Structures are given as structure tokens and as C-alpha cells.
Structure 1
Amino acid sequence: MNLVSTRIITANVEGLVKFYEEITEIQAIQYTPDFAELKTQTATIAIGSTNTLQFFGGESTAQPAQNRSVIIEFLVDDVDKEFDRLKNYLSSSVVQEPTTMPWGNKSLLFRDPDGNLVNFFTPFTKESIEKFTK
């Protein structure tokens, strides 16, 4: 089994697509005004409008901008470099500047326009580097 995609349901497809294109430097594929994908080497961020909920059981299935438990994480080569590149763009949405976590990753935590938490991280300690090079 492989995790292939994480889908974000939003009332602001255009805004989220622009945001994720900016932070990832990946061009989204916009299939319809209601659905887009940003494909990385290992997984896809899918962005769907609330209109797409009709295909998944109706509007009560998911509610945009209500996440309080999931962090969308991106492994990056150099989290400090990414912070320097994005700090002006993210100025009002940074939750935590690059910080070494107890498990050995250096993490930058910020929110997307819908309030979802996003983590850019780089393995920092010998143990965490080994974990991601196996």
C-alpha cells in the first residue's frame, strides 16, 4: 500500500493553488476550476472545491478551513534556505521559525490560507539523516 495523495477541500481553490505553487515551486495541474493537483516525487497535494463534495457523499462530508489535527509535511534539502526564500511571503502565517525538534528534524511550521498547518523539515541530527537515507 502507498500513500498517493492528500486532498484539501477549500472554498478558495485559486488562493490555495497559488499558495502551494509559491511554497513548493511546483506548477499545479488545474483539471477543472474545482480541482487541481501539485505532484511531488513521492505524493500529490490535491486541492478540491467544496463543489466536489457532491461526489463524496455531500457537503457534510468535509468542511473547508476546519483542520485542527493534520500537518502537511514536506521534506526539503535546507529548511533555513527555504525560510529565507519564503519569510516575506509567509510573514503573517509563520507559527514557528526553523527549530530543531527532539526527534532530530529542523522544522519550519506555518499555515496555508485556509489555516492548515504546513511543515517544511530537514533531517538535522545523525539519526534523523540516517532515517531518511535508508
Structure 2
Amino acid sequence: MQGRYSEFGLFQQILSLNLVPRKNGNNTGNDTSLSDFSEMWYGVFLWAVVSSLVFHLPAVLLALATLRQHKMARFMPIAILLMAIMGPVCGGVLTSAAIAGVYKAAGKRMMSFEALVFGVGQSFCVLVISFLRVLATL
């Protein structure tokens, strides 16, 4: 398993969506489908964390640039960065496990692109709910 990943560069590995380490090293060719529960869960969770960071980092940089003179609000970027990490760790773990559990119970294999869609979709749903302020109307 280690020899297979040593020949790929990090950038090429990310672009090929081949981020999930395999339990069994018997994959042939370009088969990037995920069949084990832990592979599916890790794939969806990894993309949820990465997309959450991509969504939150511009907000952190904007807050750093605009709030650096404020007495108390200069610490707001730390809170935003913690939300970018803690959101997927708390909620993303459960939703990723639920998605992987459904796939495993159905006996289906998950393509790496599906893991990307589900992971980014989780972060996108959090972003939409945050901007629409749906929770404030409840």
C-alpha cells in the first residue's frame, strides 16, 4: 500500500480523488471506488473538512484584515477558524457515517466523486442555512 502512494505526487493524488487509504491493496488500474464502511466514511468526512476550510478561510482572512484595529473583535478570526474545524468534527462525523451506512446497507460501492459531492454538499448545506438564517425563524 505504501509503494502505491509513493509514486503519486500529492497534487496528482488530490486531483485524481484518490485520497482514501485502502485497507486491502488489491485495487487494479484506476478503480477508485470505495467498498468498505470506513473507506466511505473517511472519504466523505475528509471532503467535508476540506470544503469547510475552503469556505471559512476567506472569512478568516477578511476578518483579519478588517478587524485588526478593534479592541475585542480582533479575536473573531480565531472563532471562525474553530467553527471551520469543529463543525465537521462534531456534525460531519455523524452525517458521513450515516451516508456510509446507507451505502453499506444497500451493498453499493461509492465512487470517489460521490464522496466529494456528499462532503462538499454537507458544507454547502451549512453555508446555505447560515446565510438564510432559517434557524432564527424557528
TM-score range, shorter chain: under 0.3
TM superposition score normalised by structure 2: 0.26
Greater RCO (Cα-Cα under 8 Å, separation 6 or more): 2
Which has a greater percent of strand?
1
Which has a greater percent of helix?
2
TM superposition score normalised by structure 1: 0.26
Q: Which has the greater radius of gyration?
A: 2
